[in-house]
Amino acid sequence: MNGSLSLVRRARRAASGFVGALLGLVVFVFGAASAEQAAAAQPPASASRSQLAIVGVDVQPANPGPDTLCKLHVRLRNAGRDGASDLSFQITVNGQRLAPYLNHNFRTFVAPGKETDLPLYNFWSSESGRPFPSDGRLVIDVRVIGARWVTAGSTNVATLAGPVDPLPAPFSVTLTARDKR
């Protein structure tokens, strides 16, 4: 009986050590994953040196309610010597990507040394896969994920040169629903 009791105690100690190690592994894995996600959400340090910048994002209406069609405009500044075009965007609303921007390029000419207002696609404040948030806050994140310089001296967006590198930092706006009184 004494031998079987010590065997049970050893099994319990081994199990508690295994559970502790497993718990430590889970904490390590999830901690590393969340740190990786946080690092991916931050723009690269070189984004502040980009010659192309997002200087404003305008969403109308400014206080949308549920099922409201919102108009989206982005203002870009080109501090480079050449024009830019072939712009690709990643737009998210409360962290969910908007599908119309997947595999789409805007061939708008962004003149050197100037700001350009670019109307983008409208979006709904809520959709079947993205309900209107209970707190009434919509966070719209705009990122340029691709752009190309236009050949030096040209205003024809069909004569593209190399990629814009580094790309500009993302720009976010937060909208809140108007109180109904």
DSSP string, 65-130: -TT-EEEEEEEEEE-SSS-EEEEEEEEEETTEEPGGGTT--B---B-TTSEEEEE---EES-BTTB
163-179 pLDDT, tens digit per residue, is: 999 999 999 999 998 76
The predicted pLDDT at position 13 comes to: 65
Contact 83, 154 (CB under 8 A): yes
Identify the segments of the chain with pLDDT beneath 50: 22-40, 181
The predicted pLDDT at position 46 comes to: 52
The predicted pLDDT at position 22 comes to: 47
pTM for this predicted structure: 0.72
